[in-house]
């Protein structure tokens, strides 16, 4: 399900996404995926690897038709109440404004352009 959201949000082939995040690959890792729902429809997913007071944000995906509704923000804010003091993440340009509004600071720009 999270793979479907990532595929739709980033216009990626579903089979390519499956090689990275589907349960059959991640069930033995410490990746936690959280999904926001609108009634019976999944509309946003965030995948995180918590390690003590640090958490890695690996994927935040909201398909275009559901962006701007606050679901990604709600999923990320969930970690604020969990003794997580810092995150590390790589954010695509469209996600940088959301991340900045949540208090993330850019410490390196690894863009190739």
Q: What are phi and psi of 103, to 5 degrees?
A: 100, 5
Q: How many domains is the chain built from?
A: 1
Place of tokens 């997580």: 84
Residue 55 belongs to what domain range?
A: 2-101
State pLDDT tens for residues 81-96: 677 777 777 666 667 7
SS3 label, residue 32: strand
CATH of the domain at 49: 3.40.630.30
CA distances to 13, 77, 96 from 68, rounded to whole Å, are 24, 15, 14
In a domain? residue 108: no
**pLDDT tens digit sequence for 10-38:** 787 888 777 666 554 444 457 788 888 88
Query: Is residue 107 situated within a structural domain?
Result: no
Residue 111 falls within a domain, yes or no? no
Q: Is residue 109 part of a domain?
A: no
> Does residue 15 form part of some domain?
yes
């Amino acid at each position: 399900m999270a793979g479907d959201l990532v595929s739709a949000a980033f216009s990626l082939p579903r089979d390519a996404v499956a090689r990275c995040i589907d349960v059959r690959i991640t069930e033995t890792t410490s990746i936690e995926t959280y999904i926001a729902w609108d009634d019976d429809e999944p509309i946003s997913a965030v995948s995180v690897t918590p390690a003590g007071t640090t958490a890695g944000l690996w994927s935040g995906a909201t398909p275009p038709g559901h962006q701007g509704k606050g679901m990604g923000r709600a999923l990320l804010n969930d970690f604020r109440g969990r003794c997580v003091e810092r995150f590390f993440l790589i954010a695509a340009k469209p996600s940088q404004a959301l991340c900045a509004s949540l208090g993330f600071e850019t410490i390196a720009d690894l863009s190739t352009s």
